[in-house]
Every structure is written in structure tokens, then in C-alpha cells.
Amino acid sequence: MPPRTSYRSDIEMLIVPDDMPRDSNSTTGDVQMEDVEKHASARSIFTNEDVDSLAWKDLTVTVKDRSTGKYRNILDNASGIVRPGELVALMGPSGSGKTTLLHTLAQRQTATVRGQVLVNGEEHPLTTHRAISSFVEQEDTLIGSLTVEETLKFAARLSLPRTVTRHEAKDRVSKLIEAFGLNGQRNTLIGTPLQKGISGGQKRRVSVATQLITGPRVLYLDEPTSGLDSTASYEVISFIRDIARRNKLIVIASIHQPSTKTFDLFSKVTLLSQGKTVYNGSVPDMSAFFAEMGMPIPAHINPAEEVLDLINVDFSGSAQSNLDTILLGWQNSTRARQIQEDIKGFSVRKQLQLSTFEMKPTFIPQTITLLHRAMIKSYRDLVAYWVRVAMYMGLAIMMGTVWLRLGSTQQNIQPFVNAIFFGSAFMSFMAVAYVPAFLEDRAIFVKERANGLYGPTAFLVSNFIIGLPYLFLISVLFSIVSYWLINLRPDAGAFFTWIMWLFLDLVAAESLVVFMASLFPNFVVALALIAFANGLWMSVGGFLVSLPVLNAFWKYVFHYIDYQAYVFQGMMVNEFRARSYSCEQIDGQCFCSYPSELQSECRIAGTAVLSQYGYALGREGKWVGIMIAIIVVYRLLGWAVTWSRKS
């Protein structure tokens, strides 16, 4: 394919109405240039010239009813056809099968499917379908701490082929921002619970724009007006309709009870009830069909609401008989027969040209892009890490003042041990604060993975790397405040070793969060299980019950895989290996609470305290290795769970 000559025509094709004059004063040279630009615009990535039709024939989706154990059809023998430039509404009462049909067409259905989904008259594998289509989820899973432009730029970097230059990618982003009327919000944040951003309707437009960045030929939208008022709903659908018409896209959207103005924007409507098609045709012809069934739609009544009332069998005793009449009328109608004939008569006119979708970004560019995006999110989003920094600093000040300047006497040995346990255990326990941030990142990953942008490896590697500098910062700040206030061993080597153990503690705790939240991606469930796990690790870690006393079951099943245990004993050895403590003297007699080789000097060697807990010197390297292994295992388990789940 020859190189593109101009980008101006692409902008015109995307955002300029077909009836708007381009240049009323063209000279001969201008006309020639316009011809060249029109030729270039014909190859615009936003213009569909590959897909002539999307059809579904006799689609049936079967699931097993959990209550009865019997199989039932949630979509029953559905057929239809959509052509370029058409905007189709899938409508029906709750449980009618409209979302099932949408997911089946997008090849996202995991249940048993019979029938055919045809593109240009033939079936295609999932990879091909993903290459020509995009899916917009019902929820706006956007990163609130990014601007509108940044959101689209990162979508471009993750989805566009490597053959697309940076200039071309930037050009596409600008076109989409203009096309969706977002120029005024280009540099505005999407918005977080703590930072006001763009409106709900604008968020929906951004969500759609991110899926159009690759120039898909087919666009699926799941409830695109969900949560929007009638004005915002009309605005969103209007933008989508105009872009579909100008670029000959096939757009299919499930929608619930649109206003009359919004409903009139659709080219066609497919009505479903109890999984069956009750109407499939143009919006203007729908009223005539129901009139033929003896159920005319009154004037000045929202036709969408009226037909939904007619086909909803949940709230009326006579509704089922009305629905049966409508179903029979549709099955015997010329419209239904015409759809079948159109599908049968559609031959394969052209092969899909997928070269523009090949050579997607590989693992390393994907990971770098995700790291860049996560870096921006992490320093802008207070919830991600900065709330945790504040929490840990508060804990450091509290610890430093509660255990303030402990002396080197035997009365302070137990407070030293308590401080070490409290610091290591609660540092890891407070990692539960990362759950909401991770679940937000995971929701974005699930959406982007479903659209084929990247896999779990790139997601979890970037997630791991981006957390390390923040966890190290927390370890350093916490240690600077608490270590010297408590009066732990005043030695530079001991101080930096303490930081190392804290850092490993935090990394292991966050790795546990990633694993648990991946396994149970529900905020309350993940929070409860992580709290339980940390409570278990605290119980068998060797402080509450020392290792020589701990019974065999808990010792051999849980203690040796407890990351908190290795942190605690590493910190204990770091503190007590080179310290001694004065014994209590009463009437000239020495009373030492721990027997040691220094008892003759009326002092207690720190190694005596370590012996009491069953800890020996010279094993720190082994413990560090075990900590790293535990971190790796948690991360691999998180990867395995994420890889095995498609949603």
C-alpha cells in the first residue's frame, strides 16, 4: 500500500458532516489535491472498507439452571444482519437475552453456543473478530488520575500496530478528541473520588473513543447510556451515530428504555423477550409491525417504552398471551423471512484486510507503556500509595513515642522485642490498604485484556515494578522516624539491615494482596481473607508463641512459609546479636532474667534473648533467600490465577 498522502481528509471523514462543503473556491490545482486527499481518505483507518455485513444466523445459547439442574436457552434461534453505517439497538426486558446476544456476537460468550456469526458471509476465528471489532463495557473503567488526552494516548500506545508512527498515533488521538467534542476537556482529569473531573456523558464518550483508536470496523456497546440522564444519553448516542454514518462502521448497542429522541437516532432495533426475537428491523417500521399485530403504539407515547411494556411478561397476567401473539406474528412475517433470505444470499464479496491490525506491540513495549501509565497514576492518585505513606508515617511516630528511647536494661528487653514484632507485623497488616487500588487496576486490565491489548504477564510485571520504589520509600521514611526514637541498635549497618527487612516485609505483604485480590476480586472478601491470613502469620510467626513451644502442626505446616516469621527473626538477630543489657541489682546482688555468658559481669548478652526464641546467628542470608522465594511464589500464584480467568 502506498504511503498516506494527507491527514486532513481523515479529519474531514471523521468529524465533518457529509453535506458540509470542503472548499467552495477550488482552483484546478486545489481540485487535484482534493482528489488526492479523497483517495487517501478512502484508506483512512477510521473508514470501514473491509466489512460489508455482520450477520447472525440461528444463534442459540444454552446454560444450566443452577436451581433445577436443567438446561435452558437464554437466547433462542436469533437471526439478524447489519450493514455498514447502521446503528442497531438491542432492547428487551431484564433477562430477555440482549446482553447475551451482544456478548455472543462479540465472541465473548463462555456458555454453549449454536448457530453462526458471519462477517462478509463467512465465519472467522476469534483473533480475526478481535482484529476488526472493539467492545465498550457498561462501566467506564477509566483511570481517574489521567487526563482525557493521556487516556487516549495510552490506549493508542497499547493497541496500535508497531508500523504506526508516533506522529500518526498523536494524529489519531487529536481526531478522536475533536470528533467526540472533547477539545475543551483535553487536559482535564477523568476524575477520582477525591478529584473532580469530567461529566458522566463525557466519560462515556472517552470510553467509546478509546475503543475507536484502532479504527475497528465493528463496535459493540454494552448499555452505553447506563447511569446518564436523557440529555447526556442523547448526546452520547448522537456522537456515535454520526461517526458510524461518516465512517461506515457497524455499531450494535444494548440499551434500556431510551427516550424518544434517543431511540430515533438508531437505524434498526432488535427486540428480544425470553431469549426470542420479537422484532428485527428499522426503527420507523416498528410501529407499523405492532399495529399489524393489533397493538398500535399511541401517538405522543415513547415507542421504546410502549413496546417494552408489550413484550414484558413479568408484571401482567395477560402479557404472556400478548407475547405469544407477537412472536407468532414475527415468525410468520415477511420481514423475518427477508432477513433469512438476506443472510443466505450474502456471498463472500471480499477477504478481510487485516494487515493494519497485525504487529501489535510486544511484551516489552507493552510493559513499558503500562509502567509509564502506572507511574503517572501512582503519583497523582492519593489512594494508590500516598495514603499508605501517611498511614505508615503515623505508625512510625506512634511507635517512636510509645517506645521512646528505651534503655539498655533488662527491663527494656521485652519492650524491644514487642516493638520489633509490632513494627513488622503491622507494617504487613496495613498492606490491605492497597486492595482498592489493585482492584481498580485489575478492572482496567480485565477490560483491556478482553479487547486483546495485553496479557497478565505485562500487567503483573508492571504492577510489581511500579510498587518497588514506593515501598522502599515507605521503608526508609518509617525507619528514619521510628528506629532512632525507639533507640534500636545505634549502628549504621544495623539501621540499613532494618530497612532491608522492612522492605522485604512490605513487598511480601503486597504480593499476598495481589494474590488474594486476584483470587477473590471482591473488595470485602479480599479484605477479610487478607486480614485473616495476616492474623494467621502473626500467630505462628514465633513471637506470640516461641518456636520451641509452638506445636508441630502449626510449626511445620504454616510457620516455615510465614514471611512475617522470617522478618521478625531477621530483625531480632539484627537487634540483639551485638547488644548487652544490664541486670537488676538488689542489695548488691545481681538478678538477671536471661542466663548468659556475661552474667558474671551482671549483664545479659543479646544472644541469650535469641536463644530463648530459638534463633541462631549466621542464617540471615538463608532467610533473605526464603523471603525472596515467598515473594516470587505469591506473584506466580497471582499470575496463574489471573491467567486462568477471563473475567
pLDDT computed for residue 23 by the predictor = 42
pLDDT computed for residue 124 by the predictor = 86
Confidence of residue 32 (pLDDT cuts 50, 70, 90): very low
pLDDT higher than threshold 90 for residue 12: no
- The 10s digit of each residue's pLDDT in 270-320 is 999 999 999 999 999 999 999 999 999 988 899 999 999 889 877 666 678
DSSP string, 354-366: -GGG-S---HHHH
pLDDT higher than threshold 70 for residue 462: yes
Stretch 516-540: mean pLDDT, rounded?
Answer: 96
CATH topology classification for 54-345: Rossmann fold (3.40.50)
pLDDT computed for residue 131 by the predictor = 84
E strand intervals along 11-70: 54-64
**What one-letter code names the amino acid at 163?**
T
Strands 250-254 and 218-222, by their bridges, are: parallel
pLDDT cut 90: percent of the chain above it: 69
pLDDT computed for residue 18 by the predictor = 44
pLDDT computed for residue 531 by the predictor = 95
**What number of helices (H) and strands (E) belong to the chain?**
24, 13
- The 10s digit of each residue's pLDDT in 241-268 is 999 999 999 999 999 889 999 999 999 9
Confidence of residue 24 (pLDDT cuts 50, 70, 90): very low
pLDDT computed for residue 189 by the predictor = 95
- The 10s digit of each residue's pLDDT in 599-645 is 999 999 999 999 999 998 999 999 999 999 999 999 999 999 999 98
Confidence of residue 39 (pLDDT cuts 50, 70, 90): very low
Q: Could you give the angle at the alpha carbon of 245 between the alpha carbons of 137 and 89, nearest 5°?
A: 45
Q: Look at residues 583, 435, 559, 448 and name the one whose alpha carbon lies nearest to residue 509.
A: 435
- The 10s digit of each residue's pLDDT in 57-75 is 999 999 888 888 888 889 9
pLDDT higher than threshold 80 for residue 43: no
What's the whole-number average pLDDT of the chain? 88
Judged by DSSP in three states, 138 sits in: coil
**Which residue ranges make up each domain of the chain?**
8-42, 54-345, 363-644
Q: Look at residues 113, 246, 118 and name the one whose alpha carbon lies nearest to residue 178.
A: 246
Q: How far apart are CA 427 and CA 36, in angstroms?
A: 65
Strands 584-586 and 589-591, by their bridges, are: antiparallel
pLDDT computed for residue 48 by the predictor = 87
Q: Could you give the angle at the alpha carbon of 409 between the alpha carbons of 404 and 414, nearest 5°?
A: 70
Burial of 545: CB neighbours in 10 Å, binned 0-12, 13-18, 19+: middle
Stretch 198-219: mean pLDDT, rounded?
Answer: 92
pLDDT computed for residue 84 by the predictor = 94
Q: Look at residues 108, 211, 105 and name the one whose alpha carbon lies nearest to residue 158.
A: 211
pLDDT higher than threshold 80 for residue 25: no
Q: Which of 26-35, 60-69, 199-208, 508-517 has the lowest mean pLDDT?
A: 26-35
pLDDT computed for residue 349 by the predictor = 55
Residues 423 and 113: beta-carbon distance below 8 Å: no
pLDDT computed for residue 356 by the predictor = 45
The C-alpha R_g of the chain, in whole angstroms, comes to: 32
Of residues 356 and 442, the one with the higher pLDDT is: 442
pLDDT higher than threshold 50 for residue 8: no
Residues 173 and 153: beta-carbon distance below 8 Å: yes
pLDDT higher than threshold 80 for residue 352: no
Tell whether the torsion through CA atoms of 488, 490, 494 and 498 is positive or negative: positive
Stretch 140-145: mean pLDDT, rounded?
Answer: 91
| Range from 111-115, 148-152, 305-309 that averages highest in pLDDT | 148-152
- The 10s digit of each residue's pLDDT in 418-453 is 999 999 999 999 999 999 999 999 999 999 998 889
Residue 168: CB atoms within 10 A of its CB come to: 16
Residues 90 and 256: beta-carbon distance below 8 Å: no
Q: Which residues, 6+ apart, have CB-to-CB distance to 228 below 8 Å?
A: 200, 201, 204, 236
Stretch 533-549: mean pLDDT, rounded?
Answer: 94
Confidence of residue 46 (pLDDT cuts 50, 70, 90): confident
The 3-state secondary structure of 299-339 reads CCCCHHHHHHHHHCCCCCCCHHHHHHHHHHHHHCCHHHHHH
